[in-house]
Structure 1
């Protein structure tokens, strides 16, 4: 992959000359050779160039690829979109494509996408090559257990495959995720996945009437919703938090819960409003 021409394009568009960009990193002549495809600097120097250009490696690769996302990301989005639209033939096709790409590249992420597609089909009673969610859990659990340190990929993987796990396994891995998240405290890009993961595990616990454990994960999710400035996520998390507190008899006033639900209704999140009303009827039948 030749990145020099893309670096030149970014530098020129920002009005930065070669001498300024190269200063403290490499000679101007080497930068010129890099931009011309005749020299490739070490990775450490590339990172320094990107830092000076206020550019992430991810964005550089996005530009290098003609404003297109990496193939794995595109396949993941297409898979989720097809499942949400109940386009099961497309889900099956993408899943098989990912299995083929794994066979060619041995890149494990492709295999995980294959499994995810199979999981979507199982959820909707359209079983394909894998017949049971427990088979998927049997693939994902050893991978997560075998990772000495979790990175963002492992957090995303757990979130994607929560639906295949028992509540006990979800709690087990959720507790590990909560510990691993501490290392990412100052990494802003991780907060959205952290918030979604903690909230989703809390919902699993709530469904099992495990209110104490649900409260634990919701307390992790709430401050993350503040930090990510995700208004919708914060309101939904607050609704679950209020439901859990009421179920645990930690409070008996429903005013805040009703207020958060009303905000969703006023903001026209109608599907979420109705779904959360149903959750309230299940767990708080004497109130709703």
Structure 2
């Protein structure tokens, strides 16, 4: 993979000369050879060049691939899209494609995408090669247990496969995720996945009427909703938080809960508003 031409394109578009970009990193002649595809610098020097260009490696690869996302990302998005449209034949086709790519490359992420596709089919009673969600869980749990340190991929993987886990397993891995997240405190790009994961596990706990555990994960999710500046996520998290506090008898006043629901209604998040009203009726029948 020759990234030099992409570096040249970025440098030129920003009006930066070769001598300025190369200064302190490599000789200007080596930069010229790199941009011409005749020399490849060490990874440390590539990172320094990108830092000077205010460019991430992910964005560089996106540009290098002609404004196309990496194949794994494209397959994941396609899989979720066709599942949301109930196009089960396409879910099966993409799932098989991911398995074939795994067999060729031995890249585990492709196998996980195959499993995810099989999971979508099971969810909608279209079982294929794998028949039970528990079979998927038994594939994912050893992977998560075997990782000494979790990185963003492991957090995303857990979030993607929560629907296959028992509430006990979701809590177990969720608490480990909460501990692992501490290392990512200052990494802004991780906050959205952290917030979604903590909120999703809290919802599982709430469904099981495990309000204490739900509160634990909601307390983790709320500060992250502030930091991500995602208004919708924050309001939904606050709704679950208020429901949990009321179920635990930590408060009796429903004004805050009703106000958050009303915000969703006014912002025309009708589907979420109706779904959360149902959650309220289930857990707070005396109030709703």
- TM bin, normalised by shorter chain, reads over 0.9
Offset at 1:26? 0.1
Q: Distance in 2 between matches of 1:248 and 1:131?
A: 37
Residue 205 of structure 2: aligned partner? 205
Structure 2 gaps, min length 5: none
Offset at 1:49? 0.1
Offset at 1:199? 0.1
Q: Distance in 1 between matches of 2:87 and 2:265?
A: 30
Instruction: Give the ranges of 4+ consecutive aligned residues of structure 1 lying more than 3 Å apart after TM superposition.
Output: none
Offset at 1:175? 0.3
Structure 1 gaps, min length 5: none
TM-score by length of 2: 1.00
Instruction: Say if 2:115 is the partner of 1:112.
Output: no
Offset at 1:126? 0.0
Q: Distance in 2 between matches of 1:70 and 1:45?
A: 23
Q: Distance in 2 between matches of 1:38 and 1:196?
A: 44
Offset at 1:171? 0.1
Offset at 1:27? 0.2
Per-residue CA deviations over 1:42-71 (Å, capped at 9, x if unaligned) read 000000000000000000000000000000
Instruction: Say if 2:227 is the partner of 1:219.
Output: no
Q: Distance in 2 between matches of 1:37 and 1:179?
A: 44
Offset at 1:166? 0.1
Q: Distance in 2 between matches of 1:36 and 1:65?
A: 17
Q: Distance in 2 between matches of 1:85 and 1:242?
A: 32
Instruction: Say if 2:170 is the partner of 1:170.
Output: yes
Instruction: Say if 2:233 is the partner of 1:233.
Output: yes
Per-residue CA deviations over 1:77-132 (Å, capped at 9, x if unaligned) read 00000110100000000000000000000000000000000000000000000000
TM-score by length of 1: 1.00
Instruction: Give 3-state SS (helix, strand or coil) of 1:163's partner.
Output: helix
Residue 64 of structure 1: aligned partner? 64
Per-residue CA deviations over 1:145-191 (Å, capped at 9, x if unaligned) read 00000000000000000000000000000000000000000000000
Per-residue CA deviations over 1:190-242 (Å, capped at 9, x if unaligned) read 00000000000000000000000000000000000000000000000000000
Count of matched residue positions in the alignment of Structure 1 and Structure 2: 288
Residue 140 of structure 2: aligned partner? 140
Q: Distance in 2 between matches of 1:37 and 1:156?
A: 35
Offset at 1:75? 0.2
